[in-house]
């Protein structure tokens, strides 16, 4: 067997494999012998089928299978031995393969296109990146408090409907065969139509065109407990809502019972303490958002600043081949730039980790899995009951999906460690902004 590398470009090459009969025939002969001992062919006892008959009947398919097995193993070994940093997977030259005459050839030559990682350099210390911090002000705390009070509030009956109320009643229409009660929030009604409902009370009837009042056909279907298809042929221009009750959301009262529901018994005792907790929550929440945005900015700036040439045409062919039937050429073309940027970023991360000996130990993966499980269980109120079982939970989780869970957590920890290293090297400047300014920055 002869394997050689023919570089077409700095980032693309051909791997050529030449096979002579002496390379594969001994293995093919052995496979035929094994098959003849197991074959069950009419007229012959098991294990007594002549070698020549098996070779005549199955010799070519056995040879093809054995050669393909040898090619796969040899190609993998060669890539490892030569320390070739390939992108994607080798692509066989299908045109050359079609020329093979399996019936008469004894020597064969195969070709595989491979994409290679071109040499590149990165410079973290030249990168200037802004880290945004969102300032939590009194207005934001007050707005969040009002939202919480509404979330913990209750619906109470009122005499007449206003814009924020919910009207309960039975809706009738010529083609609507139901007497189920519906709940219609006035705010779901189009602005121009809301005046028909405001000021109404229990016992009143409201006649209206449902298509004008509610233009969202999916919401119409949910409201009437019908499918969208069922509503297509219905005349909903003259419907009548007979009101049975009007309800209004009454926000929760600010008292100790309310504080205990939010944070546990006795943790918060005053309104100021509650607002402090809300400010802390918002600060942490916004910090998660700003950290995500910072990571995105770091990635974009470093990828843009790092000169790297990918074997684009090879990668497009590989994406098409590896996702056969799932994507077409136009889809690959449309999505390629995002894929290329992702590949560049991963190559840069790998180089940074290699250059700076950034590694992940098994204990770090296990501890991260335990943190994830603890947080998940805590949200359902089971966190404190786990005790020593947490280790077993983490172990079982990391073994799940044939090791994919372990790999996912490993890559998460590794990515975070590399990102922290990058943050220490780049030039970070901090800028305090309000929420609206941050949103504008993100939308650029």
Burial category of 259 from C-beta neighbours within 10 Å (exposed 0-12, middle 13-18, buried 19 and up): buried
What's the pLDDT at 301?
96
Q: Is 401 found in the same domain as 270? A: yes
Q: Is residue 433 part of a domain?
A: yes
Residues 9-19: what's their mean pLDDT?
94
Confidence of residue 393 (pLDDT cuts 50, 70, 90): confident
- pLDDT of 311-354, one tens digit each? 999 999 999 999 988 999 999 999 999 999 999 999 999 999 99
Read off the CATH number of the domain in which 187 is found: 3.10.50
Token pair for residue 74? Answer: 């040899």
Report in angstroms the alpha-carbon separations of 410 from 294, 357, 367, 442.
22, 16, 11, 29
Q: Is 410 found in the same domain as 282? A: yes
Q: Is 270 found in the same domain as 235? A: no
For 332, what's the count of Cα atoms within 13 Å in the CB-facing half-sphere? 18
Q: Is residue 180 part of a domain?
A: yes
Residue where a domain stops, chosen among 88, 116, 144: 116
Q: Please state the φ and ψ torsions of residue 229, each to the nearest 5 degrees.
A: -65, -40
Q: Please state the φ and ψ torsions of residue 233, each to the nearest 5 degrees.
A: -95, 10
What's the pLDDT at 233?
81
Residue tagged 């994919």 (tokens): 404
Confidence of residue 224 (pLDDT cuts 50, 70, 90): confident
Q: Is residue 268 part of a domain?
A: yes
**Dist. CA 298–CA 138, nearest whole Å:** 31
- pLDDT of 261-298, one tens digit each? 999 899 999 999 999 999 999 999 999 999 999 999 99
Q: Is residue 43 part of a domain?
A: yes
Residue where a domain stops, chosen among 67, 90, 116: 116
Q: Is 286 found in the same domain as 388? A: yes
User: Is the pLDDT at 37 greater than 70, yes or no?
Assistant: yes
What's the pLDDT at 387?
60
H/E run at residue 77: helix 51-81
Sequence-distant (≥ 6) Cβ neighbours of residue 354 within 8 angstroms: none
Q: Is 199 found in the same domain as 98? A: no
User: Is the pLDDT at 24 greater than 70, yes or no?
Assistant: yes
Q: Is 303 found in the same domain as 169? A: no
Q: Is residue 399 part of a domain?
A: yes
Domain encompassing residue 223? 154-250
What's the pLDDT at 176?
77
Q: Is 279 found in the same domain as 213? A: no
Token pair for residue 172? Answer: 């009738």
- pLDDT of 140-164, one tens digit each? 999 999 999 999 999 999 999 999 9
CA-based nearest residue to 229, from 239, 221, 240, 238: 221
Confidence of residue 225 (pLDDT cuts 50, 70, 90): confident
Q: Is residue 128 part of a domain?
A: no
What's the pLDDT at 302?
96
Residues 301-311: what's their mean pLDDT?
95
Q: Is residue 189 part of a domain?
A: yes
**Dist. CA 197–CA 161, nearest whole Å:** 7
Q: Is 73 found in the same domain as 31? A: yes
Q: Is 246 found in the same domain as 268? A: no
Asked if 174 contacts 199 with a C-beta cutoff of 8 angstroms, the reply is: no
What's the pLDDT at 256?
95
User: Is the pLDDT at 384 greater than 60, yes or no?
Assistant: no
Residue tagged 């070779």 (tokens): 55
Q: Is 268 found in the same domain as 246? A: no
Q: Is residue 320 part of a domain?
A: no
Read off the CATH number of the domain in which 29 is found: 3.30.70.1050
CA-based nearest residue to 312, from 292, 291, 337: 337
Residue where a domain stops, chosen among 95, 116, 137: 116
Count how many domains the chain has: 3
Q: Is 14 found in the same domain as 92? A: yes
Confidence of residue 226 (pLDDT cuts 50, 70, 90): confident
Helices 362-379 and 389-399 sit at what angle, rounded to 10 degrees? 110
Q: CA angle 113-118-123, nearest 5°? A: 160
Q: Is 420 found in the same domain as 301? A: yes
Q: What is the largest CA-CA distance in the chain?
A: 98
User: In whole numbers, what is the pLDDT of the chain averaged over residues?
Assistant: 92
Residues linked to residue 242 through DSSP beta bridges, in sequence order = 170, 205
Q: Provide the 8-state DSSP code for 199.
A: T
């Amino acid at each position: 067997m002869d394997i050689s590398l023919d570089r077409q470009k700095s980032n693309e090459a051909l791997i050529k494999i030449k096979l002579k009969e002496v390379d594969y025939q001994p293995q093919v002969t052995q496979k035929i012998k094994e098959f003849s001992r197991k074959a069950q062919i009419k007229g012959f006892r098991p294990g007594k089928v002549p070698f020549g008959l098996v070779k005549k009947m199955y010799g070519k398919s056995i040879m093809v299978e054995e050669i393909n097995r040898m090619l796969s193993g040899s190609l993998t070994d060669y890539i490892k031995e030569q320390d070739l940093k390939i992108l994607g997977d080798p692509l066989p030259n299908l045109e050359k393969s079609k020329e093979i005459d399996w019936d008469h050839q004894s020597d064969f030559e195969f070709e595989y296109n491979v994409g290679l990682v071109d040499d590149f350099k990165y410079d973290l210390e030249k990168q200037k990146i802004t880290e945004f911090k969102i300032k939590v002000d009194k207005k934001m705390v007050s707005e969040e408090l009002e939202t919480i009070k509404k979330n913990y509030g209750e619906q109470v009956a009122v005499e007449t409907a206003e814009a924020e109320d919910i009207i309960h009643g039975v809706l009738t229409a010529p083609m609507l065969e139901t007497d189920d009660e519906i709940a219609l929030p006035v705010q779901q009604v189009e602005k121009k139509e809301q005046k028909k409902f405001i000021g109404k009370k229990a016992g009143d009837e409201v006649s209206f065109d449902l298509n004008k009042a509610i233009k969202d056909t999916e919401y119409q279907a949910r409201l009437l407990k019908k499918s969208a298809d069922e509503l297509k042929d219905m005349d909903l221009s003259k419907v009548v809502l007979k009101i049975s009750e009007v309800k209004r959301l009454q926000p929760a009262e600010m008292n100790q019972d309310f504080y205990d529901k939010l944070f546990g018994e006795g943790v918060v005792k005053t309104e100021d303490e509650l607002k402090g907790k809300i400010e802390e929550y918002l600060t942490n929440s916004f910090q998660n958002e700003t950290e995500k945005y910072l990571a995105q900015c770091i990635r974009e700036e470093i990828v843009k600043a790092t000169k790297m040439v990918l074997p684009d045409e090879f990668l497009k062919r590989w994406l098409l081949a590896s996702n056969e039937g799932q994507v077409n050429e136009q889809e690959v073309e449309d999505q390629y730039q995002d894929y290329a940027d992702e590949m560049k970023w991963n190559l840069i991360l790998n180089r940074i980790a290699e250059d700076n000996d950034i590694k992940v130990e098994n204990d770090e993966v296990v501890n991260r899995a335990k943190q994830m499980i603890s947080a998940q269980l805590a949200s359902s109120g089971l966190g404190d009951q786990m005790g020593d079982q947490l280790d077993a939970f983490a172990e079982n989780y990391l073994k799940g999906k044939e090791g994919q869970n372990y790999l996912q957590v490993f890559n998460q920890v590794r990515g975070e460690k590399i990102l922290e290293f990058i943050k220490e090297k780049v030039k970070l400047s901090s800028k305090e902004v309000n929420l609206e300014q941050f949103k504008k920055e993100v939308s650029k």
